[in-house]
Amino acid sequence: MWLCPWPQGPKSLLSACKGTKSVAQIHALMILTGIFSNGDSNSQLIASYSRTGDVESARKVFEKSSQRGIATWNAMIIAYSRKDSPVEVLNLYRRMIREGIRPDSSTFTVTIKACASLLDLKTGEEVRSQAVDFGYKDDVFVGSSFLNLYVKCGKMDEAMAVFDGMPKRDIVSWTTMVTGYVNGNRAIEAVNIYRRMQIEEIKADGIVMVGLIQACASLGNSKMGLSIHGYIIRRDLPVDVVVETSLVDMYAKNGLLELASRVFDKMPYRNVVSWSALISGFAQNGFAGDALELLVQMQSCRVKPDLVSLVSALLACSQVGFLKLGKSIHGYIVRRLDFDTVSGTAVIDMYSKCGSLSTAHFLFDRISSRDSISWNAMIASYGIHGCGKEALALFLQMKETKIKPDHATLASLLSAFSHSGLVEEGRYWFDLMVREFKIQPSEKHYACIVDLLARAGQVEEAHKLIESMVNKPGVAIWAALLAGCRNHGKLEIGEIAAKKVLELKPDDPGIYALVSNFFAAAKKWDEVAGVRKVMKKIGMKKVPGYSVVEVNGKLHAFLMEDKSHPQHEKIVAMLERLDYEMRAMGYLPKTEFVLHDIEEEVKERMLCNHSERLTIAFGLLNTGPGTKLLITKNLRVCGDCHEATKFISKIVNREIIVRDMKRFHHFKNGVCSCGDYW
């Protein structure tokens, strides 16, 4: 009688093998000793070859096996699943059924997983039907894999029906539902699933926590995000770079940048996604300088920026008009990454917002596969530069392609009309967006058309349009009407709009400033005093106006009446010289733009010290003749500074580009590109 040369059998030796060569040696011994004919040994051998990555040898063992029981079939099916070969899994499963082998829970679980990998819902449903026929209807593993199939195929309602019908659910099932709803941008349902988990006293794991944190980021629910963060700490759940990065992203997207930074600073390990989350958070919340500083820190830590971090950095460059750095990032993308639709659109947006519209269009023409986002970005770019007719021409060109205009396209087009005073075109396309494109106007579309009409002095028509709205108009719509009333002296309708904006957004300093400016323009100083008294009472401060200019690769910012700059005396001397020459050419200060009840002489002095004037003077002092200046202002440029900049551009024979919070103004030879319409 033959005695086994390894007392514990081949299984223990096979499990210890770390390479194909070792498995092959054990395989040879199994053949010599006759153990190879044993079905259980075959499945162990197949699994071992698979574990070392040699699926071909595993398949040879499978095909030579004279006794292929369910364990052998499952071993081969699992081997292909591990190799990420879902087609082979399905082929083996079908062959198994044809040969009359009865599948078990593992067979169905792995086969349905293969269907999910292929997004083959039809075959997956057929396999599940067979699982029911073989008695595995209530099997928790089969149910979880089928749930995953529906989730992967985006069929969340069907997944929910399966989930509710499962008599027993494991943590995998719950996790699948939470992550499925998060990935499907259905954050509220994800949170509802978590609440059901709490009711049923199911302990959530790290994957569920990450999904919930992402849901809070999508919903803008920082309160729940804080609660989940606390839950993780209290339960001492494992915290890795994925969980921490999700927390950074959630806090940043909710505007809680201090908390985001605190989590980030305490991370023992940060990857490129962690850095990108924080950079993106600062950029999207308007803290461009902090975002760019983080990009520099990231590179000093030898972490190579990815597309997300670079796109966020481009956004930051766009916000402050940092063209030199934007060009460097553009070059880095071209050299190290793919200049695709995403990166191309971000670069186009950067050049446009840094004043180089021609460069933006040049690059737009070179994007090989343009999607709706690319078209929308270019149409919007023409709009903010006041090129309404060019925006329309581009829109008509887009219509000729197979890309269908969407909500954002029409909003960009209507905004372009508003900045260019193209009232008839605005009315025509606002009407056509419903009739031809079947797009129902949203809050943004109404805000654009109201802004267009109100800017053009058609305040009564704009007010009637608001009153005809089915949905309740939001603050953006009433604010657009109020701005038009201020510009055209429509006091009665303006007072209605002022009341509405205060009702809708009583905690926004920008809204209070808008209302205050409306009453100041109408010289209703008692009302101005009342608004400012309320602001003071609740501790609200008006956002200070500032302007930024890039000189020699560095950004320089100035506040109104800023005296802190080392070149202050030279800047004042430059402004006095320019003022003298401007007056000689016919310039008269427009003191009505000083919204304070003070003496005319004081008003003139205040106008001369507006931030854009200081910034222009600094730029002239520190750049060579003929150099183009780009001034970025956080608020709207005032009417007097607009008039003064026209004169300055002619005196110094330079192009001066001013980008305010609404649009661009290109000043050259005493003329502005907006035609004095903005």
600 within 8 A of 628, measured Cβ to Cβ: no
**Count of helices and strands (H, E) across the chain:** 36, 6
Distance, CA of 211 to CA of 613 (rounded, Å): 50
H helix or E strand, kind and range, residue 266: helix 257-266
Single-letter amino acid, residue 356: S
Domains of the chain: 370-431 (no CATH), 443-538 (1.25.40), 546-672 (no CATH)
Are 182 and 215 a contacting pair, CB within 8 Å? yes
pLDDT of residue 46: 67
Residue pair 377/344 in contact by the 8 Å Cβ criterion: no
Closest CA to 145 of 120, 171, 180, 172: 172
Q: What integer pLDDT is reported at residue 8 of this predicted model?
A: 46
Tell me, what's the pLDDT at 276? 93
Predicted local distance difference test score (pLDDT) of residue 659? 92
Which pTM was predicted?
0.73
Alpha helices per DSSP H over 55-120: 55-64, 70-82, 86-98, 105-117
CA angle 245, 246, 252 (to 5 degrees): 90
- Could you tell me if 451 and 463 are in contact, meaning their C-beta atoms sit under 8 angstroms apart? no
Q: Looking at the DSSP assignment, which residues form a beta bridge with residue 551?
A: 554
Assigned token pair, 334 = 């071209």
Q: Could you give the CA distance from residue 237 to residue 93 in angstroms, rounded to a whole number? A: 39
HEC per residue, 390-433:
HHHHHHHHHHHCCCCCCHHHHHHHHHHHHHHCCHHHHHHHHHHH
**CA-CA distance, 570 to 136, in Å (whole number)?**
85
**Encoded tokens for 184:** 């499907």
Which residues of the chain carry a pLDDT beneath 70?
1-54, 591-607
**CB burial class (10 A; 0-12, 13-18, 19+) of residue 192?**
middle
Predicted local confidence at residue 580, as pLDDT: 92
List beta partners, residue 548: 557, 632
Amino acid sitting at position 365? D
Do 305 and 299 contact (CB within 8 A), yes or no? yes
Q: Give me the residues paired with residue 656 across strands.
A: 629, 667
